[in-house]
Chain A
Amino acid sequence: MKTIDCRKMDCPLPVVTVKRALEEAPGEDLKVLLDDGPPRENVTRFAVNRGFIVDETRMEGGYAILISGAAGETLSINREKNGDTVMLIDSDRLGDGPEELGRLLMKNFINTLVEVSETPDRMLFINTGVLLATEGSEVLEALDKLGNRGVEIASCGVCLDFFDQKKNLRAGTVTNMFSVAESLLKAGSVIRL
């Protein structure tokens, strides 16, 4: 059984790390070391929602969480579908039309995703879409919440660089075009906003 140490990690990194480990070794039990508080709560909620059995043991400096049960048949990591649901966000606006309205709609859409029970597996931000994940964005709270539910958030590095926002990324990770291309090609469904 594999053990991963997610102590001292800020949210949503523990969930992202656990999700990746579960995907890499489907069916195998996983032991995760976590800090108490949000990391423990978020990882436990994530695993339970995906149909795993979670067993917690208190240990020095945190918790050891045993995740087992091979993701209940209907709630496999990739859900019922064959492949991930990937959301491609290539603008900081939703739809054509007045800029102001487009920005409001995008903000409202992402904030609404938090309230919906289904989530995408991955959200890829490219072009002006990356500005949604950087300092000053009004959807950072929502992206953080989605991240804690196991949604991978990734922004295009070239785009961040173009807008001189590399240092200002506040949600998710930086990705490159290889990963974006692979992710889109392997996806079970792609939702392009």
Chain B
Amino acid sequence: MVKDGDFVAVFNNIHRVMKAEKILKEKRLNMLLIPAPRSLKSDCGLAIRYDEADRNAIEGQLREADLEPEEIYRKDGEEFTRIDAQR
């Protein structure tokens, strides 16, 4: 479900990820709730996927709503690279 260049925001709490999805959907931002990739550690097993174009808007909304993800990764080839949220 994750292709090269996609961003994956991992959450460690089901309520936070559900709230995050709801807010982003209301804002009509292009993202998808996905199972957290196996190679990434996540307590609730859920993550939000988005691409570069929506990155600013999505991460901004999450920060505003105090729902910052636990960790953010970018898929580079077969690997996931941990990156910092945009400020």
Contact = CB atoms under 8 A, between A and B. Distances in A.
A148 B52 CA distance: 26
Interface string B25-43: 0000000111101100000
B22 to A, nearest CB: 9
A104 B45 CA distance: 12
A115 B35 contact: yes
Interface residues of A, number: 12
Interface stretch (A6-14, A49-57, A82-90, A105-113): A105-113
Interface in B1-37: 1, 18, 32-35, 37
Contacts of B34: 108, 111
27 contacts: A100-B18, A104-B18, A104-B33, A104-B46, A107-B33, A108-B33, A108-B34, A108-B35, A108-B45, A108-B46, A111-B1, A111-B32, A111-B33, A111-B34, A111-B35, A112-B35, A114-B1, A115-B1, A115-B35, A115-B37, A115-B38, A138-B32, A138-B33, A141-B1, A141-B32, A142-B1, A145-B1
